[in-house]
Amino acid sequence: MSEHSIVEISNFKSIHLQNERNLYVYLPPSYEQAQDTKYPVLYMHDGQNIFHPAFNGQSWNIHHVVNKLIEQGEMQEIIIVGIENMKEERANEYSFHTLDEDSLQVPPALACIQPKGELYEKFIVNEVKPFIDEQFRTKKEAKYTALMGSSRGGAITYHIGLKRPDVFSMLAILSPYFYYVDPHTLQEFSQVNIPVQKVNHKKIWVDVGEYEGVLIRVEHVKDIANKLLTCGYQYGEEVAYYQDDTAAHTEADWEARVHMPLLYFFGKETKLADVELKGRSIFGLNEKAGSLNAVKTYSNGVKVTELQGEYQVADKGVVSIAKDGTIIPKSVGKTVVQFQSEGIVSSKEIEIVDYLSDRVPVSIQVNSKDALLDALRVYADLPLKKVDSHHFYNRFILPIDTGLGFRLYLDDGKGES
């Protein structure tokens, strides 16, 4: 197979945003030889991290992922455009909502004082896409054009994508930052527009990891996926949701599952290979938000969480299960829950106890063998206090089912990366 290439467009200027940044364009293996061929295009935010390592040494490595899928004959060739972020302007450009750091004591990396989401939308639609369509052999129509991002990039993909189905028919929304959650009070501040009607999208992929701390909550992301279904989108055909029970909030986690939206958009038809009921086995009679995670795995490696499932409960007096897996406790006791799809069955014993606290006290301590620079901060998806260059700690009261990953952030005084 021929080699792919990555073209760097340096200092691409924006009239709308009054700044300039680099664009990184992946051209598929056949691009140079197949001169009459035009290709679908995937546009991605945080473009400096999709081919190249971020500060933490991690990358999406999406060029390697795509090359492997193409070589295996699992997906068609595409062009990928990585749009570099503007560091300290990232929060503003990737947001349609204000989040004032002074009134809420929001960390600088999460604050948004002057939202520029509409200008960023115009930058992509009116400046980047016309340039790419002119310079490269693209299929220009919306039905061949996708938009993808994670975290704030996932949120801006969602907001731009729902506004502009005339430009983007495929949206990949990974670990979207839909709410700011105060880590000390757990008060929530919405950063998302609720969908109210179905528009002309071909496919929307939404996912989240269970180890993304309090900032990216499963219930927030799952709720938006359910609301898309309420608007009339068909689950499976038009919307797919995946809840990854091992994933945190890093480029390595997105690299590990980015093949799924790629195959959902550009892959061949596949068949169901397995189903598995995941999640806790013990729930409190007092709980209102407990849930099972019915994961369907396909032969090409794509995994989705069923939001329209049918469950069989041995003792209906103990519990009932909503279509999206939400647990509805009825009485103290044990029973077996069964989920079935296309003849494949998974079962799980569920116990309902009298009471289970929805909050858990957590003490986090991190010890580093090497001294960390003053500009480095340590997060366990929550800010840790610095004792000295080797030791960090903090205490929190966290919601049940909260998973945490550990990361280093570089703070240059303008923002974090």
Provide the CATH number for the domain around residue 192: 3.40.50.1820
pTM, full prediction: 0.94
Confidence of residue 415 (pLDDT cuts 50, 70, 90): very low
Question: Residue 313: CA atoms inside 13 Å, Cβ hemisphere, count?
Answer: 20
Handedness of CA 353, 357, 363, 366 (dihedral sign): positive
CA–CA distance, 362 with 404 (Å, rounded to integer): 11
Please tell me the least confidently modeled range out of 57-66, 167-176, 216-225. Answer: 57-66
Residue 64 predicted with pLDDT over 90? yes
State which amino acid sits at residue 207: D
Q: What is the mean pLDDT of residues 347-354?
A: 98
For 291-323, the pLDDT digits (tens) are: 999 999 999 999 999 999 999 999 999 999 999
Query: 221 and 157 share a domain?
Result: yes
Q: Helix (H, G, I), strand (E, B), or coil: what is residue 238?
A: coil
CB 213 within 8 A of CB 403: yes
Query: 19 and 93 share a domain?
Result: yes
Confidence of residue 376 (pLDDT cuts 50, 70, 90): low
CA–CA distance, 264 with 285 (Å, rounded to integer): 38
**Among 78, 54, 55, 56, CA closest to 65:** 78
Residue 392 predicted with pLDDT over 50? yes
Residue 413 predicted with pLDDT over 90? no
Query: 124 and 195 share a domain?
Result: yes
Q: What is the mean pLDDT of residues 321-342?
A: 98
Query: 263 and 164 share a domain?
Result: yes
- Tokens 């923002």 correspond to what residue? 415
Query: Which of 314, 338, 353 delimits the end of a domain?
Result: 353
**Structural domain total, the chain:** 3
CA angle 199, 203, 204 (to 5 degrees): 85
Residue 410: per-residue pLDDT: 54
What b/e readout covers 201-230, taking b as 16+ CB neighbours within 10 angstroms?
Answer: bbbbbbbbbbbbbbbbbbebbbbbbbebbe
Q: Crossing angle of helices 259-266/62-71, nearest 10°?
A: 50
Question: Residue 397: CA atoms inside 13 Å, Cβ hemisphere, count?
Answer: 7
Query: 223 and 81 share a domain?
Result: yes
Q: Where is pLDDT greater, at 177 or 375? A: 177
Task: Examine residue 416 and state whether it is found in any structural domain, yes or no.
Answer: no
Residue 54: per-residue pLDDT: 66
Task: Examine residue 415 and state whether it is found in any structural domain, yes or no.
Answer: no
Query: 186 and 309 share a domain?
Result: no
Query: 37 and 118 share a domain?
Result: yes
Query: 330 and 399 share a domain?
Result: no
Full domain range(s) for residue 365 = 360-410
Task: Show the tokens assigned to 216.
Answer: 């990216």
Query: 140 and 236 share a domain?
Result: yes
Q: How far apart are the first and last CA of the chain?
A: 36
Strand ranges inside 151-238, DSSP E: 170-174, 179-181, 188-190, 203-209
Query: 379 and 297 share a domain?
Result: no
The DSSP element (H or E) to which 239 belongs, if any, is strand 239-244
CB 201 within 8 A of CB 171: yes
Rg for the chain (alpha carbons), in Å? Answer: 22
Confidence of residue 391 (pLDDT cuts 50, 70, 90): confident
| CATH code at position 320 | 2.60.40.1080
Query: Which of 215, 239, 268 delimits the end of a domain?
Result: 268
Task: Examine residue 245 and state whether it is found in any structural domain, yes or no.
Answer: yes
Please tell me the least confidently modeled range out of 41-55, 231-245, 290-304. Answer: 41-55
CA–CA distance, 412 with 417 (Å, rounded to integer): 9
For 153-195, the pLDDT digits (tens) are: 999 999 999 999 999 999 999 999 999 998 888 889 999 999 9
CB atoms within 10 A of CB 95: 23
CB 366 within 8 A of CB 384: yes
Residue 257: per-residue pLDDT: 98
Query: 195 and 319 share a domain?
Result: no
Residue 182: per-residue pLDDT: 86
